[in-house]
Chain A
Amino acid sequence: MNFSTLIFIWVFLPIVLIGYYIIRCVCKGNLIKNYWLLICSLFFYAWGEGRYIIILLCVIGISFFGGRCIYRTKKAWLKNLVLSLTIVVLLLCLGYYKYFNDIRLIFLHESGSVHLPIGISFFTFQAISFLLDVYRGEVDISGLRIGSYALYISFFPQLIAGPIIKYKDIEEQIRCRAENIEMLSEGIHFFIIGLFRKVIIANNVALVVDSIYGLSDSDVTCLFSWIAAIFYTLQIYFDFSGYSLMAIGLGKMFGFSIVQNFNKPYLSKSISEFWRRWHISLGSWFRDYLYIPLGGNKKGEIRTYVNLALVFLVTGIWHGSGYTFLLWGCFYAFWIVLERIVRNSKKLSRITSSIPMFFKYMYSILIVVFGWVIFRAESLHRLKIMIVRMVMPFSNITSHYSLLELVNHKQFVMLLIAIVWIFVIERKDIKIKNRLLGLCFDTGALLWCLIALTGEAYNPFIYFRF
């Protein structure tokens, strides 16, 4: 089950909301409410993943008891041992489900059939962050019940696609929070906007990307490769940020304030800035639990560059198991390190500071677009084709397809909306001030999304009389 389905919006969410607010009216405190949310979250996961909920429960159990052991013991060696063991077990579990099939393919030339449980990367990282925070003494878990901890890990708004929440950021809210009309209405608004971004914009621009990536090599021209790159740049942003916004909105409906995950990333002036604005929760996780423990920038220039490169390599691998994800990580490692070198050099940073802002924006967006081409490619061969077409316009000028076959009016309108949304609305923080207009927009957007979702479920056997 995911948020942009009719069964979630029309069945699951109303039941959870009604149940939650009935409990709120009838019972004092957060205990019963939390248990209700926990049951619903586990149901949410089990609905989609079936027996793989055992993985989630194991992660919860291992990290909770591991954390408790670390918290209670005074012996440093035991703390270290338990921490290491639990993290190794969690990473092995993640590694098995995420990478086994590809490793088997590379070394044995056989395809594997291990199912990847949805959200495993997210909830495993949350569990690891909990263990490390407990180890560092940054959280007090003396009164922590397993039910509350299980809710932290499995809370359905952020369970399958983040944001990755640190326990210390949500601990207080699990214990005591107050829902109010303002939070509920804001949550509904965020949910609707997120749903609109995903269903109306991202899903429509995705069709263009899929069409172009579905062409044979000989039909991909320079124009098509750039269109695919630009559309994918928009697709992934509106899809992921839309989902994150829905998660934030859902959290607010239940009185939780979840951290923002995107902060106008396409308005960055450098790649370093981009990664401070994109998938913020993942970036901060790697900063706090990998980069800083490796020494961060405190161990000299060369070590800083190595640490940065390592972080981005791991970031690439975290996203997926194919060669293209590794390449993607290396791609960003290169640019991040290069920017750091430039920043550390007085001469070079003087030069770069005099570059007009426009060119900085263009540089960033260009690198990001190329990065997404690497990310999207299903294979190294396909990546090569797309990059060659992009940088060498005359490598293939003929195709059996025309632009208007691949991009229809609706998709073009979505492209325009997406561009205006990023470069005007987000840039200037434009909000609808007129309340009635805002209400109409939200209602209209929600209805459009529901209509579109029903349309997507329409699956006729087109030519039954063949």
Chain B
Amino acid sequence: MNKARIIMFFCLIVLMPSLSYIIKTDVRFTNYEGRKMAEKPLLIEPDFCEKFDDYYADNSPWRNEMVTLNSCLSTFVFKDSSSKDNIKGKDGWYFYRPDELDEYKRINLLSDDELDSKVNDISLLNSILDSEGVELYIFVAPDKSEIYEDMMPRWYKRYGDICRAEQVGRGLALTDVNYVFPVDELKKTADELENSQLYYKLDTHWNYLGGYFGCKSLLKQMNIELPDVSELTMKTTYNVGSSAYGKFDISNGLGMAAVFDKDISYNIDGYNYSGSIEYCGDLWSNMEDFYGTVSSHNGDAPIKKRLLFIRDSFGTAMYPMLGNIYEDVISPHRSNIGSVESMLEYEPDVIVWETVERSLSLPCFAINN
């Protein structure tokens, strides 16, 4: 009898998922992975078998549920991060591992030659732009682990005093390049606002409050003051993440998009996507716009200048603030700008090159010109 039971359970487990999938033909999976899932190949295609394997792996029965279950096992039973690319910190904080961890540990500093090369190149770019009457600002958005280092697990240690971004900052301090790396300001703000958070717990990025204070530091360099937090009217929102790919990137990476589906952000009056500003493009929901170029026009802006805001994903949370300050903001993704000409064709008055600390992708192409 028991042998019959084990056969029965085995058959149930190996047959039911496929049968249920066949029966329930309108099943569509929510794509939490931020990539194009494999499609069913045609029989006549070369490498049909390999493509079918990929297709089945991406479309296996009850995939999302099983992935979530697997991740929940790691997270709640074993108290681990369910992804090797993410670090489980304290109090529900998660951090990105690749690149960011090396930054945190201070083990990826530039060699003297590398540093000199970058400093020279950026200085040259600055000179060229200056001769065209364009101001250049290099802005480095700090990694989450820099600001919330107390939330990192205690066994991740630092092996140096400065990070790469600070190293570059010190190199550029001897030039007239405007370089902004607001790690101290953000740390101070995070400490002052202990009941608020500047970064998402479940995403690698800062939220709109973090973007606001990043912007504040940037604009301070331009002698433009944004209000302090005490002067702000803001509403806490429970963000459900980007709608383009569903949820938050760390949450997606953990396979916990269905469980970790809310995080805190803020709607700051006067510095959000609203009002009289004409926005062209949607950074938050549209991937094409994100990797392309968006723009805004604000007839009521205090600064009647054209800003070229060259960004990566951290720029998303800065963009509405800049749109409130500058009359015209044109914001291409960094991947679209590879030469001085491509910058100047937008006829900017001011250029901000924004990069996140962990990638530290600096505009080192002036020498090629």
Could you tell me which A residues sit within 8 Å of B by CB distance? 1, 5-7, 9-11, 13-14, 46-48, 50, 181-182, 184-186, 188-189, 192, 207, 400, 402-405, 408-410, 413, 435-436, 438-439, 442-443, 446-448, 450-452, 454-455, 457-466
How far is the CB of A382 from the nearest CB of chain B, in Å?
21
How far is the CB of A461 from the nearest CB of chain B, in Å?
4
Residues of B close to A455: CB separation below 8 A: 66-67, 70-71, 82, 255
Residues of B close to A436: CB separation below 8 A: 2
Residues of B close to A402: CB separation below 8 A: 155-157
How far is the CB of A54 from the nearest CB of chain B, in Å?
15
Residue B63, interface by CB 8 Å = yes
Contact assessment for A451 and B57 in the assembled complex, using a CB-CB cutoff below 8 Å: no
Of chain B, the residue at the smallest CB distance from A442 is: B6
With A451-B73, A463-B204 given, name 10 new contacts (CB 8 A): A6-B56, A10-B17, A186-B3, A408-B81, A442-B6, A446-B13, A458-B255, A460-B34, A460-B35, A464-B249
Residues of B close to A443: CB separation below 8 A: 9, 13
How far is the CB of A224 from the nearest CB of chain B, in Å?
14
Provide the bound-state CA to CA distance between A438 and B85, in Å. Answer: 36
How far is the CB of B286 from the nearest CB of chain A, in Å?
12
Contact assessment for B78 and A410 in the assembled complex, using a CB-CB cutoff below 8 Å: yes
Provide the bound-state CA to CA distance between A50 and B46, in Å. Answer: 10
Contact assessment for B70 and A461 in the assembled complex, using a CB-CB cutoff below 8 Å: no
> Which one of B33, B107, B290 lies within 8 Å of A465 (CB-CB)?
B290
Could you tell me which B residues sit within 8 Å of A by CB distance? 2-7, 9-11, 13-15, 17-18, 32-35, 47, 49, 52-53, 56-58, 60-63, 66-67, 69-71, 73-74, 78-86, 96, 98, 105, 107, 153, 155-157, 159, 204-205, 242, 245, 249-250, 252-253, 255, 287, 290, 312-313, 316, 359
Residues of B close to A6: CB separation below 8 A: 56-57, 60
Taking A10-B61, A402-B157 as contacts, is the C-beta distance between A463 and B249 under 8 angstroms?
yes
Of chain B, the residue at the smallest CB distance from A446 is: B13
Residues of A close to B204: CB separation below 8 A: 463
Taking A47-B49, A402-B155 as contacts, is the C-beta distance between A462 and B242 under 8 angstroms?
no
How far is the CB of A304 from the nearest CB of chain B, in Å?
48
Of chain B, the residue at the smallest CB distance from A182 is: B3
> Which one of B53, B82, B255 lies within 8 Å of A7 (CB-CB)?
B53
Chain A to chain B: the 5 pairs with minimum beta-carbon distance, closest first: A455-B70, A465-B313, A185-B3, A454-B66, A464-B34
Provide the bound-state CA to CA distance between A461 and B18, in Å. Answer: 27
Provide the bound-state CA to CA distance between A262 and B105, in Å. Answer: 44
Contact assessment for B14 and A14 in the assembled complex, using a CB-CB cutoff below 8 Å: yes
Provide the bound-state CA to CA distance between A443 and B11, in Å. Answer: 11
Contact assessment for B35 and A454 in the assembled complex, using a CB-CB cutoff below 8 Å: no
Of chain A, the residue at the smallest CB distance from B56 is: A7
Taking A181-B3, A455-B71 as contacts, is the C-beta distance between A14 and B15 under 8 angstroms?
yes
Contact assessment for B14 and A405 in the assembled complex, using a CB-CB cutoff below 8 Å: no
How far is the CB of A306 from the nearest CB of chain B, in Å?
46
Contact assessment for B6 and A10 in the assembled complex, using a CB-CB cutoff below 8 Å: no
Question: Using a Cβ cutoff of 8 Å, how many contacts connect chains A and B?
Answer: 152
What is the predominant secondary structure among interface residues of chain A facing chain B?
helix
Residues of B close to A442: CB separation below 8 A: 6, 9-10
Residues of A close to B255: CB separation below 8 A: 455, 458, 460
Contact assessment for B10 and A48 in the assembled complex, using a CB-CB cutoff below 8 Å: no
Residues of B close to A454: CB separation below 8 A: 60, 62-63, 66-67, 70
Residues of A close to B57: CB separation below 8 A: 6-7, 457
Of chain A, the residue at the smallest CB distance from B21 is: A10
Of chain B, the residue at the smallest CB distance from A462 is: B253
Provide the bound-state CA to CA distance between A82 and B293, in Å. Answer: 73
Residues of B close to A14: CB separation below 8 A: 11, 14-15, 18
How far is the CB of A408 from the nearest CB of chain B, in Å?
4
Contact assessment for A465 and B10 in the assembled complex, using a CB-CB cutoff below 8 Å: no
How far is the CB of A145 from the nearest CB of chain B, in Å?
29
> Which one of A46, A192, A404 lies within 8 Å of B153 (CB-CB)?
A404
Q: Could you show 19 A-B contacts with beta carbons less than 8 Å apart?
A: A14-B14, A405-B155, A409-B78, A438-B6, A442-B6, A443-B13, A446-B10, A446-B13, A450-B13, A450-B66, A451-B66, A452-B70, A455-B70, A460-B255, A461-B33, A462-B250, A462-B252, A464-B245, A464-B249
Taking A188-B6, A442-B6 as contacts, is the C-beta distance between A459 and B13 under 8 angstroms?
no
Of chain B, the residue at the smallest CB distance from A456 is: B70
Taking A10-B61, A446-B13 as contacts, is the C-beta distance between A189 and B6 under 8 angstroms?
yes
> Which one of A13, A185, A460 lies within 8 Å of B14 (CB-CB)?
A13
Contact assessment for A188 and B252 in the assembled complex, using a CB-CB cutoff below 8 Å: no
How far is the CB of B316 from the nearest CB of chain A, in Å?
7
Contact assessment for A408 and B67 in the assembled complex, using a CB-CB cutoff below 8 Å: no
Residues of A close to B18: CB separation below 8 A: 10-11, 14
Residues of B close to A207: CB separation below 8 A: 84
Provide the bound-state CA to CA distance between A47 and B71, in Å. Answer: 30
Contact assessment for A451 and B3 in the assembled complex, using a CB-CB cutoff below 8 Å: no
Provide the bound-state CA to CA distance between A454 and B70, in Å. Answer: 8
Residues of A close to B14: CB separation below 8 A: 9-10, 13-14
Of chain B, the residue at the smallest CB distance from A398 is: B159
How far is the CB of B289 from the nearest CB of chain A, in Å?
12
Contact assessment for A439 and B63 in the assembled complex, using a CB-CB cutoff below 8 Å: no
> Which one of B7, B84, B159 lies within 8 Å of A188 (CB-CB)?
B7
Provide the bound-state CA to CA distance between A452 and B255, in Å. Answer: 12
Best-surrounded residue of B34, B57, B85, B245 (most CB of chain A within 10 A): B57
Of chain B, the residue at the smallest CB distance from A465 is: B313
Contact assessment for B70 and A409 in the assembled complex, using a CB-CB cutoff below 8 Å: no
Best-surrounded residue of B66, B80, B250 (most CB of chain A within 10 A): B66
Contact assessment for B49 and A465 in the assembled complex, using a CB-CB cutoff below 8 Å: no
Of chain B, the residue at the smallest CB distance from A406 is: B155
How far is the CB of A49 from the nearest CB of chain B, in Å?
9
Contact assessment for B313 and A466 in the assembled complex, using a CB-CB cutoff below 8 Å: yes
Of chain B, the residue at the smallest CB distance from A189 is: B6
How far is the CB of B81 from the nearest CB of chain A, in Å?
8
Residues of B close to A405: CB separation below 8 A: 155-156
Contact assessment for A408 and B78 in the assembled complex, using a CB-CB cutoff below 8 Å: yes
Taking A47-B49, A450-B66 as contacts, is the C-beta distance between A465 and B205 under 8 angstroms?
yes
Residues of A close to B47: CB separation below 8 A: 50
Residues of A close to B69: CB separation below 8 A: 451
How far is the CB of A249 from the nearest CB of chain B, in Å?
11
Residues of A close to B67: CB separation below 8 A: 454-455, 458
Contact assessment for A447 and B33 in the assembled complex, using a CB-CB cutoff below 8 Å: no
Contact assessment for A458 and B53 in the assembled complex, using a CB-CB cutoff below 8 Å: no
Residues of B close to A5: CB separation below 8 A: 53
Contact assessment for A439 and B74 in the assembled complex, using a CB-CB cutoff below 8 Å: no
Of chain B, the residue at the smallest CB distance from A411 is: B80
Provide the bound-state CA to CA distance between A403 and B157, in Å. Answer: 12
Of chain A, the residue at the smallest CB distance from B78 is: A410
Residues of B close to A13: CB separation below 8 A: 14
Provide the bound-state CA to CA distance between A435 and B58, in Å. Answer: 37
Taking A181-B7, A439-B5, A451-B73 as contacts, is the C-beta distance between A464 and B35 under 8 angstroms?
yes
Residues of A close to B58: CB separation below 8 A: 457
